[in-house]
RNA sequence: GGGGAUGUAGCUCAAUUGGUUAGAGCGCCAGCCUGUCACGCUGGAGGUUGCGGGUUCGAGCCCCGUCAUCCUCGCCA
């Protein structure tokens, strides 16, 4: 007989009745009847009820065994009497009558309950992550994660992709997020950086003659956390394809994502091909480059209808070149006064000066602004929004960028508030045709996304077009308002690279200095190539229906990028710092606090 | 760095307008209980109301400061 078990805690059935078995697991719950004692023993696979009779020599000990201790029982599998069958358990038709027991690992009193799924302070959960991970919902999320990743590997491999590794210690990249740096011992004053993504490596792999690459790639970015953004590190399904177009990338990703989302969720998944939405249209209609298409509301332009009206606030915005955006909402005219007041407050909280509305309720127009509008204008608005009695139109007036952005927030809020969002579907879309350049805060032309993207129209566009009009073969995939990934057809031509950087104000020497590997490689015969890298953590988050990314990561850091269980980041020995040729230069505040602590 | 929310027993929460000894459920400890499965019953322990200051006859509650956590803006090619 095996040292610890002949079966797992989820394995035994009626067929095993009469067998002598050994199982090991955690004490999930104890039901002590004074005489007979029932213990639910739990492992990764399930629960099995163990019965302990008062006549057993180890009976006395059982009374004091705490939940979450690990124990090994040897005993006989018996049928439960009919009334005692538990249909909630897979093993509920049988139980084990214990003959021998061995304590394997005793548990102290636990700081929060494992067997019960009650809410619990997250700091405590992170400090005792090993206990938290025993709890069913988190445990299931991690199991789901493992299965999804295994399936991704199968699907990608079946599509002809090769899984490859790329370096974790690499050089700092000049663009993008803040890098995590690793000081070099051998080269004083020099640093490695952890990769923000294997971007340049995968492009080099294409240039090295590999055709289809993928990797479940760790990415490191030293940026602040959000609910859907874990600080420190996260994983991408990184991929790149040689001799490929944008459509080739879409096709593979649609296949893989549709399969994954269909297989690992009960929600209804959009049929493929997914909706393609140009960036410009997304901003104008949804006020966002990651619209939640479950929300049926769309924004329309009502600028011209307010140009000559008596409502000075709006007419003034239009006169100074601004925009009026409207959102028509069917059937919400009956909402309370408080609803409309709350919506105005909300609009103000996201930066709007106000929120106008027209409410066609019981045959009349109820609105603070209706009195400024002619009958003709009201009718034209009605026609624009396609509304009638019982409906409402909301209005936002501001410069175009702000109006779209605020309208996007209002659209989301209305969708949430009015319950317009179907929780049982996954709505995917591709956002395409991102602009190549945009104006930065100083009014200078800058790359709006990724300097490696191929401009649409190639060299001719770079030479002849207004840079702000040039589009890139740059795309995002969005699911239910979550940006899963960005990708692009890459710029594989050294001449185009130099020209593209020149427009952003950088000379050839900058390209050579900042991207030496790619610039060099592309001069020795580069294949046109394209790729993308969907966020694995976010995919699991959507599949597990979790609002927080930490619920799908085994050992996440907190918002301040600390691992409360391991104590990272932590102090190191002076010798280690000295070997790396570093000196600490701490903020005054921290030095002062350290002195006071002494 | 900015904004918001929260902070009361080991855990989750309550405590009327600022008013007597800060309560409940779970957990813990003790006792009872031989068919439960969130077992049940009885009793008990457990609190610097995050911390510091202020207002007040009186503060868990009001004010100021500070710390912590989460959400968010900035940031995330």
CB A294 within 8 A of CB A480: yes
Name the helix (H) or strand (E) containing A208: none
Q: Report how far apart the first and last C-alpha atoms of chain A are (Å, whole number).
A: 58
Which residue is nearest nucleotide B3, judged by alpha carbon to C1' distance?
Answer: A349
What is the distance between the alpha carbons of residues A567 and A441, in angstroms, rounded to a whole number?
39
Q: Is the bond leading into A273 cis (omega within 30 degrees of zero)?
A: yes
pLDDT in tens, chain A (598 residues): 999 999 999 999 999 999 999 999 999 999 999 899 999 999 999 999 999 999 998 887 766 778 999 999 999 999 999 999 999 999 999 999 999 999 999 999 999 999 987 788 899 999 999 999 999 999 999 999 999 999 999 999 999 999 999 999 999 987 789 999 999 999 999 999 999 999 999 999 999 999 999 999 999 999 999 999 999 999 999 999 999 999 999 999 999 999 999 999 999 999 999 999 999 999 999 999 999 999 999 999 999 999 888 888 889 889 988 899 999 999 989 888 878 888 887 888 787 888 889 999 888 888 888 889 888 899 999 999 999 899 999 999 988 888 898 899 999 989 888 889 999 999 999 999 999 998 887 788 888 888 889 999 999 999 999 999 999 999 999 999 999 999 999 999 999 999 999 999 989 998 898 889 999 999 999 999 999 999 999 999 999 999 999 999 999 999 999 999 999 999 899 999 999 999 988 877 666 666 655 5
Residue A182, strand partner residues: A192
CA atom of A129 to C1′ atom of B44, Å: 32
Query: Closest nucleotide to residue A126 (Cα to C1')?
Result: B69
CA atom of A143 to C1′ atom of B55, Å: 56
CA atom of A5 to C1′ atom of B34, Å: 28
Query: Closest nucleotide to residue A53 (Cα to C1')?
Result: B34
CA atom of A490 to C1′ atom of B53, Å: 61
Query: Closest nucleotide to residue A64 (Cα to C1')?
Result: B29
A275 — alpha (psi -120 to 50), left (phi > 0) or beta? beta
Which residue is nearest nucleotide B39, judged by alpha carbon to C1' distance?
Answer: A31
Query: Closest nucleotide to residue A55 (Cα to C1')?
Result: B34
CA atom of A97 to C1′ atom of B5, Å: 52
Of A295, A546, A327, A547, nearest in space to A418 by CA = A295
CB A426 within 8 A of CB A476: no
Q: Which chain B positions come under 7 Å from a protein C-beta?
A: 1, 10-13, 25-30, 32-40, 68-77
Of A405, A400, A406, nearest in space to A317 by CA = A400
Of A320, A326, A318, A282, nearest in space to A300 by CA = A326
Query: Closest nucleotide to residue A449 (Cα to C1')?
Result: B77
Query: Closest nucleotide to residue A560 (Cα to C1')?
Result: B69
What is the distance between the alpha carbons of residues A6 and A78, in angstroms, rounded to a whole number?
16
CA atom of A503 to C1′ atom of B36, Å: 76
Which residue is nearest nucleotide B31, judged by alpha carbon to C1' distance?
Answer: A34
Size of chain A in residues: 598
Query: Closest nucleotide to residue A110 (Cα to C1')?
Result: B10
Which residue is nearest nucleotide B29, judged by alpha carbon to C1' distance?
Answer: A64
Query: Closest nucleotide to residue A115 (Cα to C1')?
Result: B38
Query: Closest nucleotide to residue A175 (Cα to C1')?
Result: B77
Name the helix (H) or strand (E) containing A72: strand A70-79
Which residue is nearest nucleotide B69, judged by alpha carbon to C1' distance?
Answer: A123
A392 — alpha (psi -120 to 50), left (phi > 0) or beta? beta
CA atom of A118 to C1′ atom of B23, Å: 20
CA atom of A422 to C1′ atom of B6, Å: 30
Which residue is nearest nucleotide B77, judged by alpha carbon to C1' distance?
Answer: A176
CA atom of A410 to C1′ atom of B32, Å: 62
Give the contacts of A372 (CB within 8 A, at least 6 positions apart): A309, A310, A311, A312
CA atom of A440 to C1′ atom of B1, Å: 21
CB A555 within 8 A of CB A229: no
pTM of the model as a whole: 0.94
Question: Got the DSSP string for A240-280?
Answer: EEET--HHHHHHHHHHHHHHHHHHT-SSEEPPSSPEEEEHH
Q: In a 3-state reduction of DSSP, which class is residue A358?
A: strand
CA atom of A32 to C1′ atom of B32, Å: 11
Q: Give the ipTM of the model, two decimals please.
A: 0.92
A373-382, long-range: CB < 8 A, 24+ apart:
A373/A309, A373/A310, A373/A311, A374/A309, A377/A305, A377/A306, A377/A309, A380/A305, A381/A302, A381/A305, A381/A326
């Amino acid at each position: 007989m095996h040292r610890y078990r002949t079966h797992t805690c989820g394995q035994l059935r009626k067929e095993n009745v009469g067998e002598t078995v050994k199982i090991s697991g955690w004490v999930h719950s104890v039901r002590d009847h004074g005489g007979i004692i029932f213990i639910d023993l739990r492992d990764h696979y399930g629960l099995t009820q163990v019965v302990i009779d008062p006549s057993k020599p180890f009976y006395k000990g059982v009374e004091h065994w705490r939940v979450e201790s690990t124990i090994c029982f040897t005993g006989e599998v018996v049928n439960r009497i009919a009334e005692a069958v538990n249909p909630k358990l897979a093993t509920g038709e049988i139980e084990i009558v214990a003959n021998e027991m061995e304590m394997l690992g005793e548990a102290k009193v636990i700081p929060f309950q494992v067997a019960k799924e009650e809410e619990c302070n997250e700091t405590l959960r992170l400090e005792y992550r090993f206990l938290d991970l025993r709890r069913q919902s988190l445990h299931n999320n991690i199991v789901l994660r493992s299965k999804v990743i295994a399936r991704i590997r199968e699907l990608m491999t079946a599509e002809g992709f090769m899984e490859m590794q790329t370096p974790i210690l690499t050089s700092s990249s000049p663009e993008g997020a803040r890098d995590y740096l690793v000081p070099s011992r051998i080269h004083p004053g020099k640093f490695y950086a952890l990769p923000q993504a294997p971007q340049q490596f995968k492009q080099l792999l294409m240039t090295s003659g590999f055709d289809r690459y993928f990797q479940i790639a760790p990415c490191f970015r030293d940026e602040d956390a959000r609910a859907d953004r874990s600080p420190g590190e996260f994983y991408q399904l990184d991929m790149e394809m040689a001799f490929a177009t944008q459509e080739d990338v879409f096709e593979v990703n649609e296949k893989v994502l549709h399969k994954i989302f269909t297989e690992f969720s009960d929600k209804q998944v959009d049929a493929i091909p997914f909706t393609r939405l140009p960036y410009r249209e997304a901003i104008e209609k949804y006020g966002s480059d990651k619209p939640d298409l479950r929300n049926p509301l769309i924004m329309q332009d009502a600028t011209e209808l307010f140009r000559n009206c008596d409502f000075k606030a709006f007419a003034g915005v239009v006169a100074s070149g601004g925009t009026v955006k409207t959102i028509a909402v069917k059937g919400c005219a009956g909402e309370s006064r408080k609803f409309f007041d709350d919506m105005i407050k909300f609009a103000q909280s996201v930066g709007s000066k106000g929120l106008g509305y027209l409410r066609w309720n019981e045959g009349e127009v109820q609105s603070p602004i209706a009195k400024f509008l002619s009958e003709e204008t009201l009718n034209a608005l009605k026609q624009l929004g396609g509304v009638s009695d019982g409906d409402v139109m909301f209005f936002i007036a501001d410069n175009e960028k702000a109006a779209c952005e605020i309208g996007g927030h209002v659209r989301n809020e209305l969708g949430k508030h009015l319950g317009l969002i179907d929780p049982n579907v996954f709505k995917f879309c591709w956002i395409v045709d991102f602009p190549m350049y945009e104006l930065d805060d100083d009014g200078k032309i800058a790359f709006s996304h990724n300097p490696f993207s191929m401009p649409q129209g190639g060299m001719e566009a770079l030479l002849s077009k207004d840079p702000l009009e040039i589009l890139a073969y740059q795309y995002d995939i969005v699911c239910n308002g979550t940006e899963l990934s960005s990708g692009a057809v890459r710029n594989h031509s050294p001449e185009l690279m130099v020209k593209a950087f020149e427009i952003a104000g950088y000379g050839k020497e900058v390209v050579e200095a900042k991207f030496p590997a790619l610039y060099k490689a592309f001069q020795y015969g580069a294949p046109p190539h394209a790729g993308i890298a969907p966020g694995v953590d976010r995919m699991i988050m959507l599949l597990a229906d979790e609002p927080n990314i930490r619920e799908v990561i085994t050992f996440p850091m907190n918002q301040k990028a600390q691992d409360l269980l391991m104590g990272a980041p932590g102090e190191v020995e002076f010798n280690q710092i000295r070997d790396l040729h570093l000196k600490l230069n701490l903020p005054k505040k921290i030095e002062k606090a350290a002195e006071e602590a002494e």
